[in-house]
């Protein structure tokens, strides 16, 4: 009724929601009041919030923030406000250098991973369950790099978005208490989910390789959906409880700071730490299996080669499994003095590996992958053949194809079978054959060199293809004539 009366008698301020309270129509030149909202942090509900309706019938705008402003000063009990924590002097000293370093790292990771994902999606021969898992790992690193850039460029001093904070006349940053800040809370929820998903997908890669090596019969195609579901759903088991605790018990700021309980973040990072421990255990077990198979070889002359192969496999598994994260986990549990050189060194190393790990994995799984290199060489060969092809080339390739056809008709199919059915398709084994463990024989030394370590070595090579640098080169050469025939005809 009072609102209708104001509409009749003249100037008034319109009904408005300020992000915390709903303000009814108010007569111009008056101060509206109502009880303080109890769901805001550090607010005393026994006092009143006020909002000024100016003489011209508009709500008063704070000249500093350039937004409508509600006065919650009386609501906030200054005695309950925590003092901001002091930043260690060593962190302040190195902050800008570390910031530059990890921005470069995330930038390199983002660009290299996007191109790597496009390459794997473009070449059909690279489509298989194994690479599907790699692509999801790439996606988790892409999301982590992208959201890190958003945090760097949109947040004001890492506290909140411009709408969440303002500077006073002394250039001191203040957090607004008159809005709900749901945008920045959603952002930090998404940030924590992406970080948790990234660690989970590293764990998925470890579990996948462990499954290939340990299980006697394993079909990738039937399990890849379970891996994908686990990789993206498992982080929700920690994110959802964290959101509930934050919204009910510690609903302050943008959920990125907790002065009352600094251990609340371990709702998320506790499971992450457990996953890191599991990754380290899997890493140790795989190295143990590799070493056991190596020592089973009866040929002394192959030892040097096998040890070199073991060292190479181990060095590649370290960035794949993120083994070094177990060291950084010690830092997160406040077990080291923040002003010590050890803490700063771990801080540097953690940001380096966090930002550059995506770049390193793109090199291992894509750019150093001989299967990818083979597809590029074949694509380039097709391109040059189409641009520089001649009638003579067409005749010679047709003659080559005819010769192979007549050879096949006469029963000489060895060359045809080698190229047609073994070829370069790394996914044939993935799609058709179950994984089986190999019984190693010691009858002949020459045969042992081939067979010893072969099965488990192939599993490592298929998961980390850059270990096998010669096989696909030979296959490429044997397949070039086939590619030429197909493209010309």
Q: What is the mean pLDDT of residues 296-322?
A: 67
Domain for residue 486, yes or no? no
Other Cβ atoms within 10 Å of 380 Cβ, number: 10
pTM above 0.85, yes or no: no
Task: Provide, rounded to the nearest whole percent, the portion of the chain with pLDDT above 70.
Answer: 63
CA dihedral 224, 227, 233, 238 (to 10 degrees): 180
The CA-CA-CA angle for residues 260, 34, 186, to 5°, reads 45
Q: What is the pLDDT of residues 388-404, one digit of tens each?
A: 654 445 445 544 555 55
Render pLDDT for 417-444 as a digit per residue (tens, 0 to 9): 333 333 344 443 343 333 433 333 333 3
Same domain, 139 and 269: yes
Q: Please tell me whether residues 75 and 197 are part of one structural domain.
A: no
Residue 65 lies in a domain: yes
In a domain, 90, yes or no: no
- pLDDT at residue 447 in the model: 43
Return the CATH number at 65: 4.10.1240.10
**pLDDT of 208-251, one tens digit each?**
888 887 765 555 555 788 899 999 999 999 999 999 998 888 88
Half-sphere exposure of 30 (CA within 13 A, CB side): 13
Same domain, 21 and 122: no
b/e per residue, 111-140, with b = 16+ CB within 10 A? Answer: ebbbebbebbeebebbbbbbbbbbbbbbbb
CA angle 472, 381, 402 (to 5 degrees): 85
In a domain, 414, yes or no: no
Q: Which domain holds residue 148?
A: 101-371
Q: 456 in a domain, yes or no?
A: no
**Predicted confidence (pLDDT) per residue in 351-371, tens digit:** 898 899 999 999 988 898 888
237 and 299 co-located in one domain: yes
Same domain as 198, residue 346: yes
Confirm whether 176 is domain-assigned.
Answer: yes
- If asked whether residues 7 and 115 sit together in one domain, one would say no
User: pLDDT value at position 256?
Assistant: 83
Based on the fold, state whether residues 232 and 305 are members of the same structural domain: yes
pLDDT at 117: 94
Rounded to whole angstroms, the Cα distance separating 449 from 290 reads 15
Q: Is there a single domain that holds both residue 232 and residue 366?
A: yes
- 224 in any annotated domain: yes
Q: How confident is the model at residue 76 (pLDDT cuts 50, 70, 90)?
A: low
Residues 142 and 184 in one domain: yes
* Residue 102 or residue 219, greater confidence: 102
Domain boundary among 342, 371, 400: 371
CATH of the domain at 193: 1.20.1070.10
Banded model confidence at residue 299, pLDDT cuts 50, 70, 90: low
Based on the structure, what is the number of domains in the chain?
Answer: 2
Residues 427, 430, 431, 437: is their CA dihedral positive or negative?
A: positive
Given 327, 346, 371, the domain boundary residue is 371
Do residues 108 and 360 touch, judged by C-beta distance below 8 A?
no
Verify that 167 and 224 share a domain, yes or no.
yes
Give pLDDT, residue 115.
95
Would you call 85 exposed, middle or buried from its count of C-beta atoms within 10 A (0-12, 13-18, 19+)?
exposed
**Is the alpha carbon torsion for 407, 409, 414, 419 positive or negative?**
positive
- Residues 66 and 177 grouped into a single domain: no
Q: Are residues 18 and 154 in the same domain?
A: no
Supply φ then ψ for residue 395, to 5 degrees. Answer: -65, -45
Residue 417 included in any domain? no
% of the chain surpassing 90 pLDDT = 17
Q: Rounded CA gap, 139 and 488, in Å?
A: 37
User: Could you tell me if 206 and 317 are in contact, meaning their C-beta atoms sit under 8 angstroms apart?
Assistant: no
Query: Length of the chain in residues, anyone?
Result: 489
Boundary of a domain, candidates 338, 371, 404: 371
- Residue pointed to by tokens 């998320």: 268
What's the pLDDT band for 416 if we cut at 50, 70, 90?
very low
């Amino acid at each position: 009724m009072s609102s209708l009366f104001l509409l009749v008698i003249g100037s008034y301020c319109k009904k408005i929601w300020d992000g915390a309270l709903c303000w009814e129509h108010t007569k111009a030149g008056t101060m509206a009041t109502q009880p303080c909202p109890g769901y805001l942090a550090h607010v005393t509900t026994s006092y009143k919030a006020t909002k000024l309706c100016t003489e011209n019938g508009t709500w008063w705008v704070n000249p500093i923030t350039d937004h409508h402003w509600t006065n919650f000063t009386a609501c906030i009990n200054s005695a309950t406000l925590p003092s901001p924590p002091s930043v260690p002097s060593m962190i302040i000293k190195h902050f800008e250098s570390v910031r530059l370093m990890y921005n470069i790292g995330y930038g390199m990771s983002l660009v290299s991973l996007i191109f790597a994902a496009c390459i794997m999606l473009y070449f059909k021969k690279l489509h298989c369950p194994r690479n599907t898992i790699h692509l999801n790992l790439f996606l988790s690193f892409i999301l982590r790099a992208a959201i890190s850039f958003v945090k760097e460029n949109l947040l004001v001093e890492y506290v909140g978005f411009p709408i969440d904070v303002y500077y006073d006349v002394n250039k001191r940053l203040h957090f607004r208490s008159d809005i709900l800040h749901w945008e920045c809370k959603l952002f930090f929820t998404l940030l924590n989910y992406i970080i948790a998903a990234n660690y989970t997908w590293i764990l998925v890669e470890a579990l996948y390789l462990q499954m290939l090596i340990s299980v006697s019969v394993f079909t990738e195609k039937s399990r890849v959906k379970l891996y994908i579901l686990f990789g993206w759903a498992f982080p929700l088991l920690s994110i959802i409880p964290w959101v509930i605790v934050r919204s009910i018990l510690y609903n302050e700021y943008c959920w990125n700071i907790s002065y009352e309980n600094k251990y609340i973040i371990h709702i998320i990072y506790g499971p992450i730490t457990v996953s890191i421990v599991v990754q380290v255990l899997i890493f140790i077990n795989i190295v143990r299996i590799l070493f056991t198979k190596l020592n089973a070889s009866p040929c002394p002359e192959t030892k040097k080669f096998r040890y070199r192969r073991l060292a190479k496999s181990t060095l590649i598994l370290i960035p794949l499994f993120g083994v070094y994260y177990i060291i950084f986990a010690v830092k997160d549990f406040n077990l080291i003095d923040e002003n010590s050189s050890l803490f700063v060194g771990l801080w540097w190393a953690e940001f380096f590996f966090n930002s550059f790990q995506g770049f390193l994995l793109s090199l291992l799984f894509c750019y150093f992958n001989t299967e990818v290199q083979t597809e590029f060489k074949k694509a380039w060969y097709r391109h040059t053949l189409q641009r520089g092809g001649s009638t003579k080339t067409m005749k010679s390739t047709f003659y080559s194809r005819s010769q192979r056809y007549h050879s096949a008709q006469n029963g000489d199919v060895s060359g045809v079978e080698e190229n047609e059915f073994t070829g370069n398709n790394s996914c044939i084994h993935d799609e058709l054959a179950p994984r089986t463990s190999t019984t190693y024989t010691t009858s002949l030394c020459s045969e042992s060199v081939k067979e010893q370590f072969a099965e488990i070595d192939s599993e490592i090579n298929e998961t980390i293809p850059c270990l096998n640098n010669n096989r696909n080169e030979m296959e490429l050469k044997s397949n070039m004539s086939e590619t030429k025939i197909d493209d010309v005809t």
